[in-house]
Amino acid sequence: MTSATSPVSAAAPAGAKPATMAQALQRALRDAMADDPTVHVLGEDVGTLGGVFRVTDGLAEEFGDDRCTDTPLAEAGILGAAVGMAMYGLRPVVEMQFDAFAYPAFEQLISHVSRMRNRTRGRMPMPITVRVPYGGGIGGVEHHSDSSEAYYMATPGLHVVTPATVEDAYGLLRAAIAADDPVIFLEPKRLYWSKAAWSPQAPAEVEPIGRAVVRRSGHSATLITYGPSLPVCLEAAEAARAEGWELEVVDLRSLVPFDDDTVCASVRRTGRVVVVHESTGFGGPGGEIAARVAERCFHHLEAPVLRVAGFDIPYPPPMLERHHLPGVDRVLDAVARLQWEAES
């Protein structure tokens, strides 16, 4: 596996137009449905309304209610029905309206979706994509801002993917729908309206899931991040130049499978690591990432792997969320604590 370098600000391809992440996701669904008649979208408000974030806008109109279906309001029922549809050869794409509203579907997800292939000795795969808008920073009240990725990561049999750019939103969603395994597709709500010049990748150009990418090259330290925290890390890396640090930024894109190669190659170059995510630190993805780095590149490390994560608290009310979310200053503080004095 080669580690790709793909700066966010790379030159836009010819014919590219500005698009939001939500639009790129919509286009991915549309193109997947047009290419494959077995792709069915189902969820709450995905039909006439086009989804509360408008990601399914126009799909019911173009493909009919049987292909893009407004379901009763019951997440276990939605995912459970998707299991039966997948058993019969369909490729369901389920929308969970918000991160914390996906929890009623956990039994179906953990007891069936993730392990049906395993239970049946490979005979009954589950090509289901579960789209979950996740994360904070949009002023959402109470159960609208969870970072639930660690729950999914802890469940064998699931792929867990999250885009941080407009281009990846399209490419990763196409790859997720095409995958023969269940994919938890985490959509950073905060980035739904982020814009970039982009045109849809041709199917052959869509990368398989499971590859991290270096978004910014640097030799001083590596920031490992994904989803909503990528823009934070890129901003921190820019600011760090003033301190004389050239930070490398790795966008994981896929939490499962985990791209050890790209991560370790970067750590071997820099010797210092900060993992950045919104999810809680305790029991969060950062612990797993730090352990993997320590197991694989211990002798390249100049300092302990540090984590900048959400506090270990229930997601705070919107007026306090800025204190909870990892920001540029907190990332820079962590970089400053990477035992630089040992170098001189």
**Binder of another protein out of 2, 9, 15, 123 (CB under 8 A):** 123
Question: Which C-beta is closer to another protein: that of 260 or that of 302?
Answer: 260
Minimum separation from the CB atom of position 133 to another protein (A): 22
Minimum separation from the CB atom of position 89 to another protein (A): 7
How far is it, in rounded angstroms, from Cα 294 to Cα 309? 18
**Binder of another protein out of 10, 17, 62, 120 (CB under 8 A):** 120
Minimum separation from the CB atom of position 172 to another protein (A): 17
Nearest-CA neighbor of 255 among 335, 165, 173, 183?
183
Q: Is 179 in the site for another protein (CB under 8 A)?
A: yes
How far is it, in rounded angstroms, from Cα 57 to Cα 174? 17
Question: Which C-beta is closer to another protein: that of 246 or that of 261?
Answer: 261
Helix 260-270 crosses helix 285-297 at what angle (to 10 degrees)?
60
Question: What would the two tokens of residue 21 be?
Answer: 């992440």
DSSP string for residues in 46-65: -SSS--TTSTTTTHHHHH-T
**Binder of another protein out of 9, 72, 202, 244 (CB under 8 A):** 72
Binding mask 125-154 for another protein (x = CB under 8 A): x-----------------------------
Q: Is 295 in the site for another protein (CB under 8 A)?
A: no
How far is it, in rounded angstroms, from Cα 74 to Cα 157? 23
φ, ψ dihedrals at 213, nearest 5°: -140, 145
CA 94 to each of CA 65, 77, 91, 235, 309: distance values in angstroms, whole numbers, following the listed order: 14, 11, 10, 33, 28
Q: Is 87 in the site for another protein (CB under 8 A)?
A: yes
Do residues 228 and 187 lie in contact, with contact meaning Cβ atoms separated by under 8 Å? no
Question: What would the two tokens of residue 182 be?
Answer: 């269940």
Q: Is 144 part of the annotated catalytic residue set?
A: yes
Minimum separation from the CB atom of position 90 to another protein (A): 5
Question: Which C-beta is closer to another protein: that of 90 or that of 338?
Answer: 90
**Binder of another protein out of 50, 133, 157, 284 (CB under 8 A):** 157
- Residues contributing to the site for another protein (CB under 8 A): 1, 66, 71-72, 74, 76-77, 79-90, 92, 104, 107-108, 111-112, 116-125, 156-157, 159, 179-181, 210, 256-258, 260-261
Just list the catalytic residues.
144
